[in-house]
Structure 1
């Protein structure tokens, strides 16, 4: 039974990683398209899209780590 649980947990992590990477790729594409429409230059748009999404990813990770230290809304273990 434990191998079933570990396989299921591994599958869930792989699925979450795949969803995350697909989402980030979609967000990069949207940012690049919007930046291209605004600045009119593909090279600048790609740079904006990549930098903006790297910054957003780092910011989100930092935000999540910060919330690891917030106890509000977390039930105490019995």
Structure 2
């Protein structure tokens, strides 16, 4: 049975950054739309969307980097 955690990354950091930026762009748009519907002010909605997503972006990137070192659920390297 192989190890669950690896010291080497499965994917390049550039890939993780690209995935993070694309995902967060979509999430900013959704957050701003929901915030606008709730608060009724575009400026407040944009501020809510930007602040929450800056925090979430950093969190998601760290989460991706941790999972990139876990073998569980991925096919072995060839």
Q: Same fold (TM over 0.5)?
A: yes
**TM-score, length-normalised on structure 1?**
0.56
Q: Over aligned residue pairs, what C-alpha RMSD do you find? A: 3.0
The verdict on how the C-alpha distance between 1:46 and 1:77 changes in structure 2, with shifts beyond 3 A counting, is closer
Separation of aligned partners in 2, 1:43 and 1:72: 43
Q: CA deviation at 1:70?
A: 2.6
Give the aligned partner of residue 38 of structure 1.
Answer: 38
1:52 is aligned to 2:52: yes
How high is the TM-score relative to the length of structure 2?
0.56
The one of the two structures with greater contact order (alpha-carbon pairs below 8 A, sep at least 6) is: 2
State the alpha-carbon separation in 2 of the partners of residues 76 and 26 from structure 1. Answer: 31
2: CA distance between counterparts of 1:54 and 1:31?
12
Structure 1 counterpart of 2:66: 66
Larger Rg: 1
Q: List aligned pairs for 1:1-40, cutoff 5 A.
A: 17=18, 20-21=21-22, 23-40=23-40
The number of equivalent residue pairs is 62
